[in-house]
Amino acid sequence: FLVMRALGEVMLSNLEYRSFADVAHDLIGPWAGYMTGWTYYFCWLVTAVAEVVVITGYVRFWWPPLPLWIPPVVAVVVL
């Protein structure tokens, strides 16, 4: 909680900041901004893949005769 509150205050201290990558770029350096930006999108990608795997597992548990390729395709379309 305290870290997120501090980051929020830093974001509001300069209204030109649009993301935490901008804050890291300005306060730590360009490499930190680059890594923060790419890490954010990488975490979303990993989360989406994990969600598809879990949804597929649940569907396979409840409907075993369903072909294996249908649950992930439906999950990707819905997500």
Q: Compute how many other C-beta atoms are within 10 angstroms of the C-beta atom of residue 45.
A: 10
Distance CA 22, CA 27 (A): 9
| pTM listed for this prediction | 0.70
Distance CA 32, CA 65 (A): 49
What does the pLDDT look like over 38-49, one tens digit per residue?
Answer: 999 999 999 999
> Is residue 50's pLDDT more than 90?
yes
> Is residue 35's pLDDT more than 90?
yes
Task: Provide the 8-state DSSP code for 14.
Answer: -
* Per-domain boundaries in the chain: 2-78
Q: Compute how many other C-beta atoms are within 10 angstroms of the C-beta atom of residue 48.
A: 13
What does the pLDDT look like over 57-79, one tens digit per residue?
Answer: 999 999 999 998 999 999 889 88
